[in-house]
């Protein structure tokens, strides 16, 4: 057990409950078909994933805007692959990606069983850096929105995880305090270090097989939360 005083559990969404990688791949297959782009998906994703990760870090650090993230990650990927895709098409693809992403709703293995287990014992909440309109649709379309008493996203907070302000807003919305709360997420910097710095306990869902710093509680499967909560 982490702490008998825990009453509120805050989850990240992408890569923690919602299977972003699988859903994203299906979305790209769809939008490339719609826009008549013939490309090997494995080759595309091999370049896109690290580029997208870097763009999201820049976005978290407020170094780029939402629109620059949406366009730049695709432009840089096509450039890296020496593909001549027009600016107009890239903008269309970026819009189509956001439009269709939430229509695929694979969840991380064990998501529903652990939510059922925790829902009877704790109040559950979401804290996410994703775009508000997309994140809400993901929760609704994957039929897990009913588990959560509050949803806090970076657009309503005006800052992104790991900024302490988003965690404080989530605590306020949940009408609780940091001592009674714990964060579960896949990103060491945004979810874990951010929540710990804010004064909230945290457990890393080690989706990315990161090297876990000493003192950080880490799980490899969601069902392993039963060992702590």
Convert the pLDDT of each residue in 150-206 to its tens digit: 999 999 999 999 999 999 999 999 999 999 999 999 999 999 999 999 999 999 999
Average pLDDT over residues 90-104: 96
Domain residue spans in the chain?
A: 8-19+107-227, 20-101
Q: Residue 40: is its pLDDT beyond 90?
A: yes
Q: Residue 147: is its pLDDT beyond 90?
A: yes
Supply the mean pLDDT for the chain: 95
| 8-19+107-227 belongs to CATH 3.40.50.1000 | yes
The SS3 assignment for 168 reads: helix
Q: Residue 132: is its pLDDT beyond 90?
A: no
CA 34 to each of CA 31, 38, 43, 70: distance values in angstroms, whole numbers, following the listed order: 5, 11, 19, 18
CA distance 118 to 123: 8
Burial class (CB in 10 A: 0-12, 13-18, 19+), 220: exposed
Average pLDDT over residues 8-25: 97
**CB distance 123 to 175 below 8 Å:** no
Rounded to 5 degrees, φ, ψ at 227 are -75, -15
Region 20-101: CATH code: 1.10.150.240
| pLDDT of the residue at 123 | 98
């Amino acid at each position: 057990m982490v702490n008998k005083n825990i009453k509120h559990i805050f989850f990240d969404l992408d890569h923690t409950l919602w299977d972003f990688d699988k859903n994203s791949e299906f979305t790209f297959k769809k939008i490339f078909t719609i826009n008549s782009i013939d490309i090997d998906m494995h080759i595309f994703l091999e370049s896109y994933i690290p580029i997208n990760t870097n763009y999201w870090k820049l976005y978290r650090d407020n170094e780029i805007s939402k629109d620059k993230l949406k366009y730049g990650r695709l432009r840089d990927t096509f450039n890296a692959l020496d593909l001549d895709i027009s600016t107009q098409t890239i903008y269309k693809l970026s819009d189509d990606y956001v439009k269709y992403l939430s229509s695929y709703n694979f969840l991380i293995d064990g998501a529903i069983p652990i939510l059922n287990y925790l829902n009877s014992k704790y109040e559950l909440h979401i804290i996410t850096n994703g775009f508000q309109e997309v994140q809400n649709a993901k929760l609704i379309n994957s039929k897990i929105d009913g588990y959560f008493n509050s949803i806090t996203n970076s657009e309503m907070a005006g800052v992104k995880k790991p900024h302490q302000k988003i965690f404080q807003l989530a605590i306020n919305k949940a009408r609780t305090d940091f001592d009674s709360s714990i964060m579960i997420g896949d990103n060491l910097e945004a979810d874990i270090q951010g929540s710990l710095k804010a004064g909230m306990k945290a457990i890393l869902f080690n989706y990315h097989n990161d090297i876990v710093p000493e003192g950080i509680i880490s799980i490899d499967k969601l069902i392993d939360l039963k060992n702590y909560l």
